[in-house]
Amino acid sequence: MAIKTTSSDKKLRFLVIGAGSRGHRYAEAVTESTSALIHAVAEPRPYNRQEFGERFIWGTNKPTDGQAFTDWLDWLKWEQERRQRLSKGEENVPLGVEGVFVCALDEMHVDIMRAIAPLNLHVLCEKPLATSLDDCLAIYRAFVPEGKEDVAPSKVFSIGHVLRYSPHNMRLRQLLLEERVIGDIVSVEHVEPVGYWHFSHSYVRGNWRRETQAGVGSLLTKSCHDIDFLVWLLSSPPPGAPKDIPPHAPRTISSTGKLTQFLKKRKPKEAGEATNCLSCPIERKCNYSSVRLYKERQLDKGETDWPLHIVCPDIEDTFKTAGKNAAEKLLMDALAEDYDKASTPDAEIAARSWYGRCVWESDNNVCDDQFVTITWDDEDPPKGTSAENYTPRLSKAANLHMIAPTEKQCERRGRIYGTEGEIEYDSRTIRYFSFATNEFTTVEIPKAKNPKEEQAHGGGDWGLTRMFIGAVQAVEERGWDVRDAQREFIGCTLEEAVRSHAVVFAAEEARREEKVIRWQDWWDQHMKTIV
């Protein structure tokens, strides 16, 4: 990949906090599909930081002052000191950045976002915004101080809800809300098939296997952008609506779900007391064998990307410099790591991932099968708005099913029922049936020219990145009002992002307490905490 020079101060510069999979994905999209620059990286793991920098920032050279930081606090201190030097009129002060991509661990987002808010930079935060509603509201208040709710923001904000930005989903929304090919929406069935081995990797053995302290789990970490997708279709003001039209608020939210499969009582008897794949007598025939998943399906084929590089972050470098045998030893040593529940403190178990651990002997507790149901009443005619000719939206319902044991991996599918027809969709196609013509119409979605773009949530990662960079460019280079850029490019404000996350937290509360949430009462009550 060609490395773009950082010598020009005319191109927009961005910092990436967190050089993991998401940080790489956004940096790749910036580098290959926009004119902006990835100028700096903050990452505690030396190998990841160096590999990221060589790929996206300094190439074969060495990083200059202000391009490589051991963590985000290191960068924050540097940036604050840099600004002090500028305020004193010093010369030859290193360049800073116009914006930040926050791609650190989920639980770090609240501290990072609150700390960088005073810097007044453009921000794209990876989803989820935070791991509790209180933290989401704290972030909102950091960027929108009390009493300043009606003041126009000075910088662009975006959230990693990538499903909004794939060509497929943008066309689907256009068909539903602008062309109205099935009339008014009556009901939506949306499925998120996680993938049997993907769930075991990320939600049984990996980083997201335990519920947060707020009592939320895989619905937040895996499917918060599926909830946002439904909110975007059914709550957000439709295209062409007056600017002051409020969202169509839900009436009720409910949810059911639990951990059904990855439990010790489901462990095959033939596996005996084994707690690790490398010592398991039925490893050869187990669908969740870590040896099959990471060694045979990836390393043996010369592949070292996701998810293998999550298990061994430096395996790509080892494979290239020391060969396959050295890479295999590195992998097998990692898979052999295990613990004894009786003698290992729970905090130590929770602090890291165990990719060779038996899926039926793990410490996971997040749902592997969950339903969320959202309902809406007929919308009241908007009051105090410019919507004289606006037609209020009608009652409807939506159901999300997040399910782990599937052949498809994250290839969403669904069906939408309307007053004049119905639409069926998956991640690649859209087909709708008209009651009037009694015919099906298939809608072709053009493929991206760059195959990498197609692999990133159907183009959603790259679409989001381009829209974020486009909004920043409109503000910084063409003098746009931030509100106009936010609406035109991002299509989502910080308040809307918080509200979308709140639907997830409401659904989790409904699941845990086996109740139905009356949305408006619930939302008003929680909003009081930040007033």
Q: What is the pLDDT of residues 165-188, one digit of tens each?
A: 999 999 999 999 999 999 999 999
CB–CB of 405/418 below 8 Å? Answer: no
Name the nearest CA neighbour of 40 among 62, 63, 21, 61: 63
Cα dist. 425→163, 183, 413, 443, 454 in Å?
A: 14, 17, 5, 10, 17
| Cβ neighbours of 320 (radius 10 Å) | 10
- What burial letters (b/e) apply to 130-147, b meaning 16+ CB within 10 Å? bbbbebbbbbbbbbbeee
Residues 6+ apart with CB under 8 A from 211: 217, 365, 366
Query: By CB neighbour count within 10 A (0-12 exposed, 13-18 middle, 19+ buried), where does 163 fall?
Result: buried
Backbone angles phi, psi at 517, to 5 degrees: -85, 130
Only one residue has tokens 């939600």, namely: 203
87, pLDDT greater than 70: yes
Q: Which two tokens stand for residue 25?
A: 């994905």
Question: What would the mean pLDDT of 502-517 be, rounded to a whole number?
Answer: 97
9, pLDDT greater than 60: no
Q: Which two tokens stand for residue 236?
A: 């957000």
CB–CB of 369/258 below 8 Å? Answer: yes
Question: For the structural domain made of 13-159, what CATH number should be given?
Answer: 3.40.50.720
Q: What torsion do the CA atoms of 287, 289, 293, 296 make, to the nearest 10 degrees?
A: -110
3, pLDDT greater than 70: no
Instruction: Give the pLDDT of residue 454.
Output: 63
Question: What would the mean pLDDT of 502-522 be, rounded to a whole number?
Answer: 97
Q: Which two tokens stand for residue 434?
A: 């008209």
Residues 6+ apart with CB under 8 A from 77: none
Instruction: Give the pLDDT of residue 456.
Output: 61
Question: What would the mean pLDDT of 85-93 be, rounded to a whole number?
Answer: 95
Query: Domain 163-195+202-259+367-449+495-530 belongs to what topology?
Result: Dihydrodipicolinate Reductase; domain 2 (3.30.360)
d(C-alpha 370, C-alpha 30), whole Å = 35
CB–CB of 334/355 below 8 Å? Answer: yes
Please write the tens of the pLDDT for every residue from 17-47. 999 989 999 999 999 999 999 999 999 999 8
Please write the tens of the pLDDT for every residue from 187-246. 999 999 999 999 999 999 999 999 988 889 999 999 999 999 999 999 998 888 887 788
d(C-alpha 504, C-alpha 224), whole Å = 6
d(C-alpha 340, C-alpha 465), whole Å = 44
Backbone angles phi, psi at 258, to 5 degrees: -165, 175
Please write the tens of the pLDDT for every residue from 111-144. 999 999 999 999 999 999 999 999 999 999 999 9
Instruction: Give the pLDDT of residue 384.
Output: 66
Work out the angle between the directed axes of helices 315-322 and 324-336 (0-180°, nearest 10).
150
350 alpha carbon, distance to own chain's centre: 22
- Boundaries of every domain in the chain: 13-159, 163-195+202-259+367-449+495-530, 264-350
Please write the tens of the pLDDT for every residue from 454-509. 666 678 899 999 999 999 999 999 999 999 999 999 999 999 999 999 999 999 99
| Cβ neighbours of 346 (radius 10 Å) | 9
- Dmax over CA atoms of the chain, in Å, equals 73
Question: What would the mean pLDDT of 318-342 be, rounded to a whole number?
Answer: 96
Q: How much is the pTM?
A: 0.93
DSSP classification of residue 70: S
